[in-house]
Structure 1
Amino acid sequence: MNRTLMASAAAALLLGALTACSSTPGQDSSDKDGITDAKSLDAAGAFSQLSSKMSTAKLSGTVTAENDPNKLLGRPNQYTSKITFTGSQVSADDVTGTDRGDVSRGGAIEAFGTPADATARAKYIQAVTKGMPALSEYDYVHGTVVVRVSHFLTPKQAAAYESAANGMS
């Protein structure tokens, strides 16, 4: 094969690969599980949708790079935005001494760049807290969002958050 033909073939392969990885403007792109990530929610948008279905949830804070206790905001493969909320179903006596943004007071919503990053975060939290009942929590992944809910909720109360999270668009 001559060099011109080889260069043309290589260019055609590269163009084909790039085209296969792109999406048409205005269309959603989906990962292998069919979860749409083109319309990824940020944490505030996710909370707005969640709280419209869960009147017990009240916004308690927006996490910034300066006040993030985990120092994960904006780091590679970590959340791109995060909010915390209180839940009126959680007894004040149960959370005495906890910090204002603690998940045990109600919950938190973390938004990620990809569904895989959101799933990895939820799995990590569950693995770390598995042997520590005082730190356990309910975690629900919806696309690029992780909804974290207090372990002080009953399974039925937590299931209502799961249902609300599944209804987010």
Structure 2
Amino acid sequence: MKKIFSILLCSLLIFTIVGCGSSAKKYTAEEYGNKLKDAGVAIENLEVTTNDNDKNQLLGRPNQYTSKVTFTNGSIEVFANKEDATNRKEYIDNIGKKMPLVAEYNYVNGVALLRLDKKLNPDDAKKYEDAFMKIK
């Protein structure tokens, strides 16, 4: 009887843990770009990054983006987890603090990082941020 009870208890625990996992859909960078476009922000000249055209050579590397797109005003990078996205944002922000000429707007939403050109005025950058943060 103890054995059956233990098995049932373990099964319940496993189902509880699995049920607590993230229910948010994971999008590719291209899907994020299309969602921003659908929200009415300017996403022009969208280009999907591949191993052949990845200037940073980070696509698929450990702790780096799993997909990326570039567009006229910036890029979107998607990571395997939020920690990697946040670490990438902090890394880029630190470079911008040390070299203001390369500073940019950066926003993390879950596993995605939106990077915008600093040439955008703050009001336009806010429009991108608002639309990006609504993607769930």
Equivalences, count: 135
Aligned to 2:37: 51
Q: Are positions 1:22 and 2:8 aligned together? A: no
2:86 to 112, 119, 122: 119
Moved over 3 A (4+): 10-21
> Which residues of structure 2 form unaligned runs of 5+?
none
TM-score (norm 2): 0.84
TM-score (norm 1): 0.69
Cα offsets for 1:109-159 (capped at 9, x unmatched)? 011111121111111111122121221110011111111111001111111
> Which residues of structure 1 form unaligned runs of 5+?
31-35, 87-105
Distance 2:55 2:7 in 1: 48
Distance 2:86 2:111 in 1: 8
Matches within 5 A, 1:37-48: 37=24, 39-48=25-34
1:148 to 115, 121, 125: 115
Distance 1:160 1:168 in 2: 13
Cα offsets for 1:48-105 (capped at 9, x unmatched)? 111122342213311111211111101112111000011xxxxxxxxxxxxxxxxxxx
Q: Are positions 1:69 and 2:55 aligned together? A: yes
Of Structure 1 and Structure 2, the greater helix share is in: 2
Letter of the 2:102 counterpart: L
Could you say what secondary structure the match of 1:110 adopts? strand
Cα offsets for 1:19-47 (capped at 9, x unmatched)? 55423xxxx723xxxxx54x111101100
Q: How well do the aligned residues superpose, as a CA RMSD in angstroms?
A: 2.5
Aligned to 1:101: none
Distance 1:125 1:17 in 2: 40
